[in-house]
Amino acid sequence: MMSACKPDILWSPHHADRYVICDSELSLYRIGAVGTSEAKAGSLPLSEETAATLLAINSDTPYMKCVAWYPKHEPECLLAVGQANGRVVLTSLGQSHNSKCKELMGKEFVPKHARQCNTLAWNPVDSNWLAAGLDKHRADFSVLIWDICSKYSPEAVPAEKLRLSGDAESGMVVTKPLYELGQNDACLSLCWLPRDHQKLLLAGMHRNLAIFDLRNTSQKTFVNTKAIQGVTVDPHFQDRVASFFEGQVAIWDLRKFEKPVFTLPEQPKPLTKVAWCPTRMGLLATLTRDTNVIRLYDMQHAPTPIGDETEPTVIERAVQPCSESTISSFAWHPSAQNRMVVVSPNRAMSDFTVFERISLAWSSTTSLMWACGRHLYDCAEEGGSAAEKDIATKMRERAQSRYGHDTVQVWRNHLLAGGNDPQLRSLWYTLHYILNYSPDLEQRQQGNKQSLIYSGIKNIVKSSSGTTEIRRCWKGSERPADVAQYQSEERSLALRLCGWIGRGPDVDIEPFLKSLEQEGEWERAASVALFNLDIRRAIQILNKGASSEKGDLNLNVVAMALSGYTDEKSSLWREMCSSLRLQLQKPYLCVMFAFLTSEPANYDAVLYESRMAVRDRVAFACMFLNDNQLPRYIDKLTNEMKEAGNLEGILLTGLTKDGVDLMESHVDRTGDVQTASFSMLRGSTAEVVKDPRVQCWIENYRHLLDAWRFWHKRAEFDIHRSKLDPSSKPLAQVFVSCNFCGKSISFSCSAMPHQGRGFSQYGVSGSPTKSKVTSCPGCRKPLPRCALCLMNMGTPVSTCTGTGKSEEKVDLPRDKKLAQFNNWFTWCHNCRHGGHAGHMLSWFRDHSECPVSACTCKCMQLDTTGNLVPSDTV
Partner 1 sequence: MFVARSIAADHKDLIHDVSYDFHGRRMATCSSDQSVKVWDKSDSGEWHCTASWKTHSGSVWRVTWAHPEFGQVLASCSFDRTAAVWEEIVGESNDKQRGLSHWIKRTTLVDSRTSVTDVKFAPKHMGLVLATCSADGVVRIYEAPDVMNLSQWSLQHEISCKLSCSCISWNPSSSRAHPPMISVGSDDNNVTYSGKVQIYEYNENTRKYAKAETLMTVTDPVHDIAFAPNLGRSFHVLAIATKDVRIFKLVPLRRDSTTSSGPTKFEVQLLAQFDSHNSQVWRVSWNITSTLLASSGDDGCVRLWKANYMDNWKCTGILRGDGSPVNGSSVQGLALNTPGSSGAPTPQNSVAGAASAGRYEAQLILRMADFIER
Query: Phi and psi for 286 in degrees, rounded to 5?
Result: -130, 150
Q: Give the 3-state DSSP-derived string for 636-661, with helices as H, strands as E and coil as C.
A: HHHHHHHHHCCHHHHHHHCCCHHHHH
Q: Which is nearer to partner 1, 365 or 771 (CB)?
A: 365
Minimum Å gap between C-beta 694 and partner 1 is: 9
Is residue 230 within 8 Å of residue 201, measured between CB atoms? no
Q: Which is nearer to partner 1, 283 or 783 (CB)?
A: 283
Minimum Å gap between C-beta 2 and partner 1 is: 32
Minimum Å gap between C-beta 384 and partner 1 is: 6
Helices (H), 506-571: 510-518, 522-531, 535-547, 554-563
Minimum Å gap between C-beta 772 and partner 1 is: 37
Position 731, amino acid: L
Position 855, amino acid: C
Q: Establish whether the linkage from the previous residue to 631 is cis, with ω within 30° of 0.
A: no
Is residue 196 within 8 Å of residue 186, measured between CB atoms? no
**Which of 582, 579, 526 has the alpha carbon at shortest distance from 551?**
526
Minimum Å gap between C-beta 377 and partner 1 is: 5
Cβ neighbour number for residue 398 with a 10 Å cutoff: 21
Q: Which is nearer to partner 1, 411 or 708 (CB)?
A: 708
The three-class DSSP label of residue 188 is: strand
**Which of 232, 260, 462, 448 has the alpha carbon at shortest distance from 331?**
232
The three-class DSSP label of residue 279 is: coil
Q: Which is nearer to partner 1, 199 or 713 (CB)?
A: 713
Q: Give the 3-state DSSP-derived string for 148-181, with helices as H, strands as E and coil as C.
A: CCCCCCHHHCCHHHHHHHCCHHHCCEECCCCEEE
Minimum Å gap between C-beta 367 and partner 1 is: 7
Minimum Å gap between C-beta 442 and partner 1 is: 32
Please, what is the angle between helix 657-670 and helix 692-707, to 10°?
A: 40
Q: Which is nearer to partner 1, 311 or 811 (CB)?
A: 311
Minimum Å gap between C-beta 701 and partner 1 is: 8
Q: Which is nearer to partner 1, 376 or 553 (CB)?
A: 376
Minimum Å gap between C-beta 253 and partner 1 is: 18
Minimum Å gap between C-beta 312 and partner 1 is: 11
Q: Which is nearer to partner 1, 237 or 759 (CB)?
A: 237
490-528 in b/e burial notation, b at 16+ Cβ within 10 A? bbbbbbbbbbbbbeeeebebeebbeebbeeebbbbbbbb
Minimum Å gap between C-beta 857 and partner 1 is: 7
Minimum Å gap between C-beta 382 and partner 1 is: 5
User: Rounded distance, CA 613 to CA 427, Å?
Assistant: 12
User: Rounded distance, CA 646 to CA 654, Å?
Assistant: 13
Minimum Å gap between C-beta 781 and partner 1 is: 32
Instruction: Name 69's bridge partners.
Output: 79
Q: Which is nearer to partner 1, 205 or 831 (CB)?
A: 831
Is residue 153 within 8 Å of residue 164, measured between CB atoms? no
Q: Which is nearer to partner 1, 216 or 865 (CB)?
A: 865
In this structure, are strands 88-92 and 78-83 parallel, antiparallel, or unpaired?
antiparallel
Q: Which is nearer to partner 1, 71 or 870 (CB)?
A: 870
Is residue 414 within 8 Å of residue 429, measured between CB atoms? yes
Sheet holding 108-109, edge to edge: 64-69, 78-83, 88-92, 108-109, 173-174
Q: Which is nearer to partner 1, 556 or 670 (CB)?
A: 670
Q: Which is nearer to partner 1, 46 or 577 (CB)?
A: 46
Minimum Å gap between C-beta 335 and partner 1 is: 6
Position 143, amino acid: V
Q: Which is nearer to partner 1, 312 or 502 (CB)?
A: 312
The three-class DSSP label of residue 366 is: coil
Minimum Å gap between C-beta 400 and partner 1 is: 16
The three-class DSSP label of residue 443 is: helix
Position 706, amino acid: D
Minimum Å gap between C-beta 828 and partner 1 is: 11
Q: Which is nearer to partner 1, 310 or 445 (CB)?
A: 310
> What is each CA distance from 248 to 242, 272, 310, 810, in whole angstroms?
10, 11, 21, 95
Position 873, amino acid: T
Q: Which is nearer to partner 1, 350 or 823 (CB)?
A: 350
Cβ neighbour number for residue 716 with a 10 Å cutoff: 17
Q: Which is nearer to partner 1, 601 or 868 (CB)?
A: 868
Q: Which residues contact 595 (CB under 8 A, 6 or more apart)?
A: 527, 530, 531, 603, 605, 606
**Which of 194, 203, 199 has the alpha carbon at shortest distance from 222?**
203
Q: Compute the chain's Rg from CA coordinates.
A: 46
